[in-house]
A and B are shown apart, each in its own frame.
Chain A
Amino acid sequence: MLRILLSALVFIMLASPALAVQPDEILDDPALEARAREVGKDLRCLVCQNQSIDDSDADLARDLRVLVRDRIVAGDSNQEVIDYVVSRYGDFVLLDPPFKLKTYALWFGPGVIILFGIFAVFMFFRRKRDDAKEDAKPEALSDAEKARLARLIDEDH
């Protein structure tokens, strides 16, 4: 029930600053707070869809935000905080998909697609050029036509 409730609350993210962070969560040290926001931007709110924990009103998101800040204050680096959350929830919690063997197809995909497209365009132009050359070439004569030509030349003599 709660899941339905929470997942019906729609939240957005477009690389914008943290938006659901409450005043009492904000750390006193602005540098640490900025780090917390950076980490938060990459962590998915697990009970909403495609939103970061910073963008979500959900309770679990709030708890994760607090956890992130606690760990940063305790001295973890950004990567260590992320690693901890991933160790609990898996890669699902990363909004920025990791660059691992299983996601090579994802990260290399766009490059492959556009290279394929360029290749197809190249083939398109080459085929057009070949077709045009073919059209411009005079057609070879068939045997019957050759015989006829020979006869005509003979007749001339």
Chain B
Amino acid sequence: MKRFFYILPLAGFLLIGVYLAIGLGLDPQKLPNMLEGKPVPAFNLQALEGRDDRGFSNTDLLGEVSLVNIFGSWCVACRVEHPFLMKIKENGWVPIHGIDWRETDRKAGPAWLKRHGDPYTLAGDDPRSVAAISFGVTGAPETFVVDQKGIIRYKHVGPITEEVWQDTLRPLIEHLREQG
């Protein structure tokens, strides 16, 4: 009995140590995707200036597999992924729709797209994070893979790179297309 108390600190510490070690491999900031397997939330966004679509709403997402990309002119990492998004558009691999998030100036988003290229089939303006919050977005860029029935299948946080595309997104999109 007495021995038990003396061993306890060591045992307790080793237990904690195990979790600390596991913790080193995890990213505490990576939030789970609450909407995986759920339908795209309802939203209806106005069109961006200078584009010819009517805006962007959740009903537009039925019928084909697509990507929904959250971006903003203020977002540095979005700039980093942008050339790759353009590549996706040019090759027609999958339609990308954009949500322009939290612009303070109505002209900023369109100007940014004009300067760097516009990869979006449909795009909407979300100045007050109404759509973004309903998607559970915390930062930009974030990209959602949506299937033909309008169900969210995957969320990618951070810029989309060649690697991300090859390893994760493309296989998933192909799989969803086969199924649908």
Contacts and interface: CB of A to CB of B under 8 A. Distances in A.
Contacts of B76: 1-2
B133 A90 contact: no
A92 to B, nearest CB: 6
A123 B1 contact: yes
Contacts of A59: 102, 129
Secondary structure of the B contact surface, majority rule: loop
Nearest to A62: B129
Contact of B139 (A47, A64, A66, A127): A47
Given A2-B75, A2-B139, A60 B5 contact: no
A67 interface: yes
A90 B138 CA distance: 12
A85 B3 CA distance: 49
A64 B1 CA distance: 54
Given A1-B76, A63-B102, A63-B128, A88 B2 contact: no
Given A2-B75, A63-B128, A87 B34 contact: yes
A46 B22 CA distance: 23
- Which bracket fits the contact residues of B? 20 to 34
Interface residues of A, number: 20
Interface string B123-161: 000001110111110111000000000000000000000
B31 A90 contact: yes
Interface in A1-20: 1-3
B62 interface: no
B6 to A, nearest CB: 12
Given A1-B76, A88-B135, 11 more contacts: A2-B76, A2-B140, A59-B102, A63-B128, A64-B133, A88-B133, A89-B136, A90-B31, A90-B32, A90-B136, A123-B1
Interface of A: 1-3, 46-47, 59-60, 63-64, 66-67, 85, 87-90, 92, 120, 123, 127
